[in-house]
Each structure stands twice: as structure tokens, then as C-alpha cells.
Amino acid sequence: MRDSTSKKLGVVHYKSGVLDDHYEVTKFALLETIKEAVPEMWSLTS
């Protein structure tokens, strides 16, 4: 990802009120969804 794209994305998240705690919740939800959708491919080490 280009630096300017990352900065723009950061600004959007900041203006939307996204907090660090939101990333943890989102990460957990995403990983659980992947684990349920494709359990045969699930691994925290790969």
C-alpha cells in the first residue's frame, strides 16, 4: 500500500472515531469468521 493511501485511510478512520480498541474487536471477529468458514485451512502459525 502506498504511503499516501495509508495516510488517507488513517484520516478516514480518525474522523469516523475509530479507536485502538475497535481494531482488537474487529481482529477477533475476522479471525473467528475465518476459522468457522474454512476450519481445514485455519492456523495461527501460517
Q: Which cell numbers hold the place of 14? A: 480518525
Kindly report the backbone phi and psi dihedral angles of residue 43, in degrees, each rounded to the nearest multiple of 5, phi listed first. Answer: -165, 130
Q: Are the CB atoms for 4 and 12 separated by under 8 Å?
A: no
- pLDDT(46) > 60: no
Kindly report, residue by residue over 1-44, the tens digit of the pLDDT. Answer: 568 998 999 899 999 999 999 999 999 999 999 889 988 887 76
Cα–Cα distance for residue pair 28/13, rounded to 1 Å? 18
Residue boundaries of the structural domains of the chain: 19-46
Which pLDDT score is estimated for 1?
Answer: 52
pLDDT band at 45; cut points 50, 70, 90: low
The verdict on pTM exceeding 0.85 is no
What is the pLDDT, as a whole number, of residue 26?
94
DSSP state of 15: H
